[in-house]
């Protein structure tokens, strides 16, 4: 009986010590943990803009993508901007109606849509997921505030802009329309190059380029030499995008 009681007391003592050690070990990291800086994360969803705060160590997201990739824009209070790209898988295509100009400013004007007969089209849908540790942010390059507009125009919206330009019969009208959309959207360099290529006159092409500069991502990489053949306009274009 005495041996049993000694064993029980010993077990209780060892258990209490182990529990005390466990509590102490769990308390130390919590007490020393440094709070994360709050980051703003934005992304373009198929029907809206994701705008959220990242306050912990891990960013986890899954959902519908507007295209074959998902672009996350990460902004800090310190002033730096980084972008993270997530690949998305294609899922089942769906048929959609051509949007009206009232619901989408990039849509064809009503009279042009009626005249040229824009038909409902099947659009591809995509789905993606990502898990990103905050400690890996240093591996992403920081972007300059100028020339890093957001969100970028998706392929479907840009196709509608091209349709609207094609529907206009005169070059002056095309230029005026490009200037208007150039101040209201965020374009890629490839998209701007495609639009400028539709203007035959280089002086008008230069005037349109001026409107696209604040709203074009990475405008500094625009292939000026292929867009402007006259040295005068080449030099002026290079001055604009510097």
Q: Quick one: 172 and 233 in the same domain? A: yes
Q: Which domain range does residue 121 map to?
A: 35-144
Give per-residue pLDDT as tens, 18-68: 333 433 344 434 333 447 889 999 998 888 889 999 999 998 999 999 888
Give per-residue pLDDT as tens, 154-188: 888 899 999 999 999 999 999 999 999 988 899 99
With beta carbons less than 8 A apart as the criterion, state whether 58 and 79 touch.
Answer: no
- Listed in sequence order, the residues at least 6 apart from 4 whose beta carbon sits closer than 8 Å to its beta carbon are none
Tell me the C-alpha distance between 111 and 202, whole Å. Answer: 30
Query: The dihedral of CA 200, 202, 208, 214: what is its sign?
Result: positive
Cα–Cα nearest to 129, from 76, 75, 91: 91
pLDDT of residue 6: 39
Three-state secondary structure of 165-176: HHHCCCHHHHHH
Domains contained in the chain, number: 2
Tell me the C-alpha distance between 65 and 169, whole Å. Answer: 35
Q: Quick one: 130 and 189 in the same domain? A: no
What stretches of 33-154 show up as alpha helix (H) in DSSP? 110-116
| Strand bridging mode 187-188 / 216-217 | parallel
Domain boundary among 144, 179, 197: 144
Q: Quick one: 53 and 137 in the same domain? A: yes
What does pTM read for this prediction? 0.60
pLDDT of residue 234: 95
**Domain-embedded: residue 180:** yes
Tell me the C-alpha distance between 130 and 14, whole Å. Answer: 45
| Strand bridging mode 39-44 / 69-75 | antiparallel
Q: Quick one: 132 and 172 in the same domain? A: no
Give per-residue pLDDT as tens, 205-232: 999 999 999 889 888 899 999 999 999 9
Q: Quick one: 133 and 172 in the same domain? A: no
Give per-residue pLDDT as tens, 86-119: 999 998 665 555 555 555 555 555 555 555 455 5
**Domain-embedded: residue 26:** no
Tell me the C-alpha distance between 29 and 25, whole Å. Answer: 7
């Amino acid at each position: 009986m005495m041996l049993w009681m000694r064993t029980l007391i010993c077990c209780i003592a060892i258990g209490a010590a182990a529990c005390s050690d466990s509590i102490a070990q769990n308390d130390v990291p919590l007490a020393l943990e440094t709070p994360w800086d709050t980051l703003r994360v934005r992304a373009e969803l198929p029907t809206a803009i994701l705008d959220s705060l990242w306050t912990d160590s891990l960013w986890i997201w899954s959902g519908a993508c507007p295209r074959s990739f998902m672009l996350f824009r990460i902004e800090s209070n310190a002033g730096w901007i980084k972008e993270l790209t997530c690949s998305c898988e294609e899922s089942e295509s769906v048929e959609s109606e051509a949007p009206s100009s009232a619901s989408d400013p990039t849509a064809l004007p009503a009279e042009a849509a009626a005249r040229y007969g824009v038909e409902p089209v099947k659009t591809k849908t995509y789905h993606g997921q990502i898990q990103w540790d905050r400690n890996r942010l240093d591996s992403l390059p920081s972007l300059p505030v100028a020339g890093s507009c957001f969100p970028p125009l998706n392929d479907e919206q840009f196709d509608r802009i091209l349709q609207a330009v094609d529907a206009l019969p005169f070059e002056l009208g095309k230029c005026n329309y490009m200037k208007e959309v150039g101040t209201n959207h965020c374009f890629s360099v490839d998209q701007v190059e495609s639009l400028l290529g539709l203007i035959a006159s280089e002086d008008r092409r230069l005037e349109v380029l001026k409107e696209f500069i604040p709203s074009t991502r990475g405008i500094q990489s625009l292939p000026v030499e292929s867009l402007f053949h006259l040295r005068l306009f080449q030099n002026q274009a290079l001055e604009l995008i510097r």
